[in-house]
Amino acid sequence: MQRYFINQPANISDNVLLPDNVAHHLVKVMRAQVGTRAEFVTNDQHVFIGEIFSIDGSKTFVKMVEPLKTQSELPVNVIIACGVPKGEKASLITQKATELGVSKIIFFDAQWSVSRWKSEKRDKKLDKLRKIASGAAEQSHRNVIPKIDYCDSLVDVARIDVSKKIVAWEESAKHGEHSALSQVFHDLSNGDTLLAIIGPEGGLSEEEIDLLKKQQVVTAGLGPRILRTETAPLYLLAAISYYFELENY
Amino acid sequence: MQRYFINQPANISDNVLLPDNVAHHLVKVMRAQVGTRAEFVTNDQHVFIGEIFSIDGSKTFVKMVEPLKTQSELPVNVIIACGVPKGEKASLITQKATELGVSKIIFFDAQWSVSRWKSEKRDKKLDKLRKIASGAAEQSHRNVIPKIDYCDSLVDVARIDVSKKIVAWEESAKHGEHSALSQVFHDLSNGDTLLAIIGPEGGLSEEEIDLLKKQQVVTAGLGPRILRTETAPLYLLAAISYYFELENY
């Protein structure tokens, strides 16, 4: 069943006027009619099956007929901070990380980022990524749309106040480090927030790694193979999901 | 350092004539000169640092100066069988699954595959995917290039003789199943082979799932979110890497 975020509160039996973009997709793209059902997520993460009871021009009304108890959010919050990547990679990271349960993605200017987001184009880029996140959250049946943000300073990223902070570091794996990531997972409890920092294509500089270590960020390898910048966040999120949702649920 | 597969045996101190495609990339694309070093993987998975000692037209010779003991292969072999996906997704799956350590990818015709690979175009498609796998194996510093294949029958895929077989099944997760995947990982030993079957965009039909169950294929959920067909193999491989290479190494 299609899922939509309606960005407003609702309760069982409520009649709800759908936001324009939701009504457009449901009625024009999916060709829904009176009687069609879909899943609607409220702004406080409740999910209802709703049934269309009236379509009047651009105004589509839905009655919430059944609450859904499904919970598809990771038990820990994961913030991924990515060095600004090249080309369309930010889109791929946003779509896939959303499917895999990320809470928030922050793109930051890294020392070796080949690509720079000029200030006049940044808002447009972020808007586009937020739309991708919203679509992917609906498609993967999440209860939350991840936040997408930008930060020009790695220092500010590293200072975010969270339970645990790691940085994916190739050199860590090269030196035979295996257990840092599983130790971090082990130390996290439900409701905690993990910040995971991942470099751009060129990686992070020694200087950046030193700066992060000073902010109590733990260096962790993601296995013995060299992962591309867009693959590393997906590895991390899949590993977290496996650990918290399948192995120790 | 660049890594290349030379598809021939070699020993320390050997002088090796590089295959044309390797010589072309190293000398023309990377602008290597006499004295430049790179990593070379032999056809029996040994890795050497080699140094160019002669470039004569299209003939480039390398001397193997130092063996590398790095091992970047997963301790278990993973065969991913994917329902033929739409558009460029086969390329994305091939690139990312290679980075994440897959041994072999088999694309199969699923009942609900929207896309079909016509027989006259199939070899060209497979050639392209094999090139992607080879490039991704070099880039991620693997010791092996994964095999890429096609099979027109899910029955034949299910009959492959391996240690364990699973099929990623959404319904499994919907019914609150958590532990099948971690049980399968637990039952695998180093050197074993796991076959993981993943449906195309439309998923697998009940009929296909029944057929797989009859072949002792275990249904396993990949967490509570609905993953796209190209995301599921990446989740699975990342989870396997986490389990075998970071948590229980």
Residues 6+ apart with CB under 8 A from A60: A17, A18, A22, A23, A26, A27, A52, A54
For residues B57-84, give the mean pLDDT.
Answer: 94
d(CA B184, CA B180): 6
Which pLDDT does position B177 carry in this prediction? 78
Residue range A163-170: average pLDDT? 94
Rounded to a whole number, what is the distance in Å from the CA of A4 to chain B's nearest CA?
14
Comparing CB atoms, the residue among B181, B225, B249 nearest residue A72 is B225
For residues A149 and A228, membership in a common domain is answered with yes
Q: Average pLDDT for residues B189-211, to the nearest whole number?
A: 95
Residues B127 and B110 in one domain: yes
Whether the pLDDT of residue A67 is over 80: the answer is yes
The pLDDT of residue B114 is 87
List the structure tokens of A151. Answer: 């930060």
Query: What chain A residue is nearest to B138 in terms of C-alpha separation?
Result: A226
A175 has a chain B CB within 8 A of its CB: no
* Percent of chain B residues past pLDDT 90, beyond the cut: 88
Res A115: pLDDT: 87
**Amino acid (1-letter code) at residue A88:** E
pLDDT mean across residues, chain B: 94
| Cα–Cα distance list, A112 to A86, A220, A238, B92, B118 (Å) | 11, 20, 26, 25, 44
Provide the pLDDT for residue A155: 95
Task: Evaluate if residue B178 carries a pLDDT over 90.
Answer: no
CB contact under 8 Å between B231 and A142, yes or no, is: no
Residues A80-119 pLDDT 10s: 999 999 989 999 999 999 999 999 999 999 999 888 899 8
What is the tens place of the pLDDT at every residue in B116-130?
899 899 999 999 999
The pLDDT of residue B60 is: 96
**Has residue B186 got a pLDDT over 80?**
yes
**Length of chain A, in residues:** 249
Residue found under tokens 């973009």: A21
Residue B249's pLDDT is 80
Q: For residue B143, what is the nearest residue in chain A, using CA coordinates?
A: A225
For A158, the token pair is: 């590293």
Instruction: Answer positive or negative: Cα dihedral of A88, A98, B234, B212.
Output: negative
Residue ranges making up the domain that contains A135? 77-247
Torsion of CA B56, B60, B64, B66, to 10 degrees: 100
| pLDDT confidence band for A57 (50 / 70 / 90) | confident
Answer yes or no: is pLDDT of A223 > 80. Answer: yes
Choosing from A47, A68, A89, the residue where a domain stops is A68
CA distance A83 to A94: 13
pLDDT at A173 exceeding the cut of 90: no
The confidence score (pLDDT) of residue A70 equals 81
Residue-level pLDDT at B196:
98
The CATH number covering residue A39 comes to 2.40.240.20
Write down the ipTM of this complex: 0.94
The number of distinct structural domains making up chain B is 2
B182 closest CB neighbour out of A99, A227, A246: A246
Q: State whether A46 and A100 are in the same domain.
A: no
Residues B131 and B19 both lie in one domain: no
For residue B57, the distance in angstroms to the closest alpha carbon of chain A comes to 32
Residues in chain A within 8 Å Cβ distance of B71:
224
Confidence of residue A172 (pLDDT cuts 50, 70, 90): confident
Cβ neighbours for A187, distance < 8 A, ≥ 6 positions apart: A164
Residue of B nearest to A144 (CA): B225
* A138 and A20 housed in the same domain: no
Identify whether residues B50 and B83 lie together within a single domain. no
**Claim to verify: residue B83 and residue B63 sit in the same structural domain:** no
Give the residue-averaged pLDDT of A178-200. Answer: 95
